[in-house]
């Protein structure tokens, strides 16, 4: 943070500066940490008061200030509350329409419970149905563009009726709307996320219609984070929290829906538990638990944490050759 002298405050005379310096206040950081504003203001001299007011004004300009609830509601109404369809009817039904923009959704499940399949299906559904850009950060080399093409093809067939083949150029357009990034450690993932945060609003290399980035997927977030959690606990946790913070920032400031996955590990008494534990738990707004029933080949999704809907709802889907099939739709 800058030093007080560097701010160019008009009323920071050498005299006032020496008073502040005698209190150990040289930088803005010092002011925030150790300045007792009431005491400084009560101390008298008018110029000191002015300097305090100017520093406070500087701080005020640095951040988005307090906003009244009324403004918040008006802003939200102007923007509209959008839900992005996951493309799986039973899941959309329990989520009241899909993934909400501005929130973070987490899929938790053991391996082979359909986490990646669901991620790819959501990407296909949002790119095709919403004509929106999707950023997909692949951390395990599990993203398959052929599989996504199948899924988009199925979605196109079902929505347009069975009119023979799928238009190849249309398919290509939708697929170009899905931007895939690869990251195999947390540092590269963080730099991709920060770049994304900085470059939103600029044009991505994508077809004309797909202007807005609306969905960000990180599959899997836990495989980036769990390797750094052992050993030096503090640094690992700090990196994890900053990962959560940038995802949160992208969701709130850029109005994205964020979807991440978290695998499970063996916990106490052999009970599987999410790989990212207590400190991570508070980061997502919505947590969905995936389980797979081998006898019926159905994947169950249960809501285990949600900021606004009750947590006892369940949905299921099957993974088929053509894509994900909602269980109800099949019956």
Partner 1 sequence: MIMEVGEWVRGHESVASMLHRVLPNSRCTTPLVAPLQQVALQARDVVEVAGPSGSAKSELLLQAAVTCLLPERLYGGWEGGVLWYDLDGHFDILRLVCLLQARIHQGKALSLGGLIEDGDNIMNACLERFLLTRCYNSFDFIAALQTTRNQVKEAQRQGRSMRLLIIDSIGAFYWLDRAASLVAGASTESSRPSIQAVTRAVVRELHQLSNMHGLLVLASKCSIFSPQSSDARKDTRRAGLQHREYMPAEWQEFVTHRLLLQGPMSGEAEVVFIAEWQMPALSGVDRFTIENTGLKLVI
Q: Which spans of this chain sit near partner 1 (rule: CB under 8 A)?
A: 1, 29, 32-34, 36-38, 44-46, 56, 59-60, 62-70, 72-73, 76, 81, 234-235, 237-238, 240-242, 245, 248-249, 251-252, 268, 277-279, 281-282, 285, 287, 304-305, 307-308, 310-312
Query: Which CB, 202 or 307, lies closer to partner 1?
Result: 307
Query: Which CB, 145 or 235, lies closer to partner 1?
Result: 235
Please state the closest distance from residue 162 (CB atom) to partner 1, in A.
40
Q: Residues near 7 by Cβ (< 8 Å), separated by ≥ 6? A: 28, 54, 55, 58
Please state the closest distance from residue 224 (CB atom) to partner 1, in A.
16
Q: Enter the DSSP assignment of 200.
A: B
Rounded CA-CA distance 167/186 in Å is 39
Please state the closest distance from residue 53 (CB atom) to partner 1, in A.
8
Tokens of 122: 């959501």
Instruction: Tell me the C-alpha to C-alpha distance, in Å, between residue 122 and each of 78, 88, 141, 260, 319.
Output: 26, 8, 18, 12, 13
Rounded CA-CA distance 128/210 in Å is 10
Rounded CA-CA distance 51/31 in Å is 11
Of 317, 280, 330, the closest CA to residue 113 belongs to 317
Please state the closest distance from residue 49 (CB atom) to partner 1, in A.
10
Query: Which CB, 68 or 163, lies closer to partner 1?
Result: 68
Please state the closest distance from residue 324 (CB atom) to partner 1, in A.
27
Tokens of 53: 């007011």
Query: Which CB, 63 or 141, lies closer to partner 1?
Result: 63
Q: Could you tell me how many residues make up the chain? A: 331
Query: Which CB, 61 or 331, lies closer to partner 1?
Result: 61
Query: Which CB, 37 or 329, lies closer to partner 1?
Result: 37
Please state the closest distance from residue 159 (CB atom) to partner 1, in A.
29
């Amino acid at each position: 943070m800058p030093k007080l002298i560097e701010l160019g405050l008009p009323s920071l005379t050498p005299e006032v500066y020496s008073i502040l310096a005698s209190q150990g206040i040289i930088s803005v950081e010092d002011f925030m940490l150790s300045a007792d504003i009431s005491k400084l203001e009560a101390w008298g001299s008018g110029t000191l008061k002015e300097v305090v007011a100017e520093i406070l004004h500087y701080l005020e300009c640095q951040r988005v200030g307090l906003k009244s609830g009324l403004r918040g509601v008006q802003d939200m109404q102007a923007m509209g509350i959008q839900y992005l369809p996951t493309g799986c009817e039973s899941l959309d039904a329990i989520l009241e329409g899909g993934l909400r923009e501005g929130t973070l959704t987490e899929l938790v499940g053991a391996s082979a419970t359909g986490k990646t399949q669901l991620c790819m299906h959501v990407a296909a559904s949002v790119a095709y149905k919403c004509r929106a850009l999707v950023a997909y950060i692949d951390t395990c080399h599990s993203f398959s563009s052929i599989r996504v093409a199948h899924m988009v093809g199925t979605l196109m067939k079902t929505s347009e009726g069975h009119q023979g083949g799928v238009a190849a150029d249309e398919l290509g357009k939708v697929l170009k709307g899905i931007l895939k990034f690869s990251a195999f450690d947390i540092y590269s993932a963080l730099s991709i996320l920060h770049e994304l945060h900085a470059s939103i609003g600029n044009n991505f290399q994508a077809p004309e219609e797909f202007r807005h980035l609306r969905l960000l997927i990180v599959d899997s977030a836990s495989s980036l984070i769990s390797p750094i959690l052992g050993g030096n606990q503090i640094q690992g946790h700090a990196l994890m929290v900053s990962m959560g913070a940038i995802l949160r920032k992208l969701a709130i400031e850029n109005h994205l829906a964020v979807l991440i996955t978290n695998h499970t590990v063996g916990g106490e008494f052999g009970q599987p538990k999410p790989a990212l534990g207590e400190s991570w738990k508070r980061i997502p707004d919505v947590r969905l638990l995936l389980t797979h029933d081998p006898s019926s080949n159905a994947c169950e999704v249960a809501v285990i944490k949600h900021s606004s809907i009750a947590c006892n709802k369940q949905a299921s889907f099957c993974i088929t050759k053509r894509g994900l099939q909602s269980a109800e739709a099949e019956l």
